[in-house]
Structure 1
Amino acid sequence: MNKQVIVYTTNDCIECTMVKQVLTQEGIPFEVRDISVNCAYQKEVEKFGFLGVPVTVVGNHAVKGFTNELKELIEIAKGI
């Protein structure tokens, strides 16, 4: 596994917590970027075409929310 995983989040976001839990359960290390702490992170989210969180990024792939697309992103992160 050589792809960096980034999760854009806020502290009070339930879906964000769920995404982080799944990544942890899958054994995937990730960096948390809280958009409420650093406005530059919100701009990064917007560059991926999203306004809200959670946004999970692996390489040049980005997924918003806690959806089936997240499973595909996990497979990419694992190198499957």
Structure 2
Amino acid sequence: MSKQVIVYTTNDCIECTMVKKVLTEEGIPFETRNVSTNPEYQKEVEDYGFLGVPVTVVGNRAVKGFTNELKELMDLAKKE
């Protein structure tokens, strides 16, 4: 797995927890960036075109929420 995975999150975000749980279960390593504690992370989320979280980023693709698109990103993250 060579592609970096980033999950933008906040405290007490249920969808964020679900995304991180699925990534962990799939054995996909990821970096967590909490927008509540770092304003720069919120700016990064906005640069991807989103206002809220969770936002999951793999390479140059980003998806918001716990959706079917997340599965596509997970597949992308598993490819070398």
Please give the TM-score of this superposition, normalised by the length of structure 2.
Answer: 0.98
Moved over 3 A (4+): none
Aligned-partner Cα distance in 2 for 1:65–1:33: 15
Unpaired stretches in structure 1, ≥5 consecutive residues: none
State the Cα distance separating 1:65 from its structure 2 match: 0.1
- For 1:10, the equivalent position in structure 2 comes to 10
| Backbone CA RMSD of aligned residues | 0.9
Unpaired stretches in structure 2, ≥5 consecutive residues: none
SS at structure 2 position matched to 1:76: helix
Identity %: 79
State the number of aligned residues. Answer: 80
- For 1:77, the equivalent position in structure 2 comes to 77
State the Cα distance separating 1:11 from its structure 2 match: 1.4
User: Which runs of structure 2 are paired with 1:28-67 in the superposition (5 Å)?
Assistant: 28-67=28-67
State the Cα distance separating 1:25 from its structure 2 match: 0.2
